[in-house]
Amino acid sequence: MFDGLAGMYHAAPGSTAVLLISPWGYEELCARQSYRLIGEHLASLGYPCLRFDLPGTCHSAGSSGEIQDEWAWRKATETALDYLTSLCAPREVIVIGQGLGGLIAADLTQRRSVSGLVLFGSATQGRIYLREVTAWTAMTQPTFLVRSSDGPQGGLMAGGFMLAAATVNEIKGLKLLDGPLPKAHRVLLVERPENPGDVKLAEHLASSGAALDRIPFQGYVDYISSPTLSQPPLDTIDELAAWLTEHFPPNPSTMPSAKPAPAPAILETANWREELFRFGPGNMFFGGCTSPVGRTSKTALLVLNAGNDHSSGWGRCTVDLAREVAPKGLSVLRMDLAGIGETPLWPGQQEPVLYSTRALNDVRCAIDWLKSEMKIEHIIVMGRCSGAYLAFSFAALDERVDGTVLINPRKLVWDPREDVDQAIREPIQSLETYGSKLTDPNQFKRLLSGDLPISRVLGRLTKALASTADRKLARVPVLRNLSNHYRLSRIVRSRLETLSRRHAPIAFIYSEGDRGLSDFHSFVGDAAARSSYPNASFSLLKDADHNLSPLPARAEVTRKLLEFAARIDSTIA
């Protein structure tokens, strides 16, 4: 942590250093793991690398919706460059930027000496970028129930990610196409497929006088399509590394062997203290722990990843939650499970990692740390979507879990016959949205035109009919053992009964119309059936989507969480 910025430093002995500037928002969620892989790979070749979170984003200080300085992000980038220089005293510096980070990287070259610039699928004009983000926000409804105007006055909201008015103005002033040309000795343009903006940018950069190299952005669509489905562009990363070694060899550093150690990753305010650290076997897991200042916390909340969203959470909701509830007396540990965000896979572990029984051990390592290092008495495990599934599965296995909060779990039990990759590719739109599609004339037009394959429709219909028949079979006593639904129901009931015997409260919180409700009603049942589990509560969130993009929905979850925690620990305000 330096000057309120959360940094990830990859030490290496070379004299050519690399500063990586992240994209923003949804694109940053997609890029987190790949940026870690870039840093690790380049460091293995001898390049010391620094990644960092821009002010008010991810793990850094402040809130992106409250920034008032129209130079905040550009100043932070200069601060990061100075910090990298202090750590390794490089002879040359290469700056890599993706998306909005590419614009900021190019702007940095106007004020600082930079040998090489890598534009990794970069935005070209700040104003155009903001228009595209606004259009994306409109197109992604009703998946994300927010409008671009739902952010701060004069600012921007995009799928739950916020920008302050000052940052919007800062971005508007960033220009690559009709602004000053980047002042770098050599530029690498990583071009997205069939992107007219990249073609214009290449023509513009060619006139700069700097040596310009161009490579295709292989795997771009799979990389940026979804945080949960994102595939690191390994071939492109290899080409990037080859370009670096050819034009900017790492070369041994002339810096003394006693190099300064990175600053402690601690952020503290009057009300809470936060530390970023690694724990577990070989320190493989990344975590951030937020604790109250001036009081001892007896209870901790462990927050698990939702999908492959890294530990700051969708729209940074996990960081914001931790910093809001810590002053009330509730410590919060957010972590990246194996294969997500800042945490590597276990040796020999295969992807996908979601819904894997291997993740149970990840959670166990976090509980061990809370008990041994924090001396926590009571532990609540919380997760959304796949994180909720994991929290439910683990809570029934480990008596150290005193309470469980499940938000929009898509699955309460995993059917081993299902394909994980196919399951996580299912859209997260509400049941109501899917119901409307059945009577949508456009769907029939797509079917008749061949745009919607009949095989896909028949496949889904067959699956739905088979599922209905299987559930009916589960209600016939003499035949129910033949029903897969009955077998899965027994697993869910067993977990609920285990938690009930332990008097461990469990809260099911769903957005109205969430697709996971079908699993809940199918396996847990109606109010009469739920009465068998007095430790369980059920509630619905109005005007909320699966990801809790709207700020009022997040506020309601925070309120429910504090009420839930107070039932376990009366000292929590």
**Beta bridge partners of residue 285, listed in sequence order:** 279
* C-beta neighbour count of 225 within 10 angstroms: 12
pLDDT band, residue 423 (cuts 50/70/90): confident
pLDDT at 207: 81
Q: Are 399 and 367 in contact (CB under 8 A)?
A: no
Residue range 92-144, pLDDT digits in tens: 999 999 999 999 999 999 999 999 999 999 999 999 999 999 999 999 998 99
Output the CA angle 531-535-539, nearest 5 degrees.
Answer: 75
Residue range 220-275, pLDDT digits in tens: 999 998 999 999 999 999 999 999 999 999 988 665 555 677 778 999 999 999 99
**pLDDT > 60? residue 162:** yes
CA within 13 Å, CB half, 562: 17
Start-to-end CA span in the chain (Å): 29
* Distance, CA of 39 to CA of 35 (rounded, Å): 6
Question: In the chain, what are the helix, strand and coil shares in percent, each to the nearest 5?
Answer: 40, 20, 40
pLDDT at 485: 81
pLDDT at 180: 84
* Distance, CA of 293 to CA of 326 (rounded, Å): 8
Q: Are 217 and 233 in contact (CB under 8 A)?
A: yes
Place of tokens 């029903």: 483
**Mean pLDDT computed over 351-371:** 95
Out of 177-181, 256-260, 341-345, 561-565, least confident range: 256-260
Q: Which two tokens stand for residue 77?
A: 């980038």
Residue range 435-485, pLDDT digits in tens: 455 555 665 555 556 665 656 555 555 555 556 656 655 565 645 665 778
- State yes or no: cis peptide before 352, omega within 30 of 0: yes
**Mean pLDDT computed over 180-192:** 93
Query: To the nearest whole number, what is the mean pLDDT of the chain?
Result: 91
Residues 363-400: b if buried by 16+ CB within 10 A, e if exposed = bebbbebbeeebebebbbbbbbbbbbbbbbbbbbeeeb
Out of 19-33, 174-188, 436-450, least confident range: 436-450
**How distant is the alpha carbon of residue 84 from its chain centre?**
25
**Mean pLDDT computed over 54-64:** 97
Percentage with pLDDT > 90 across the chain: 79
Residue range 292-305, pLDDT digits in tens: 999 999 999 999 99
Residue range 503-520, pLDDT digits in tens: 999 999 999 999 999 999
Residue with the larger pLDDT of the pair 446 and 205: 205
Question: Whole-prediction pTM value?
Answer: 0.92
**pLDDT > 50? residue 424:** yes
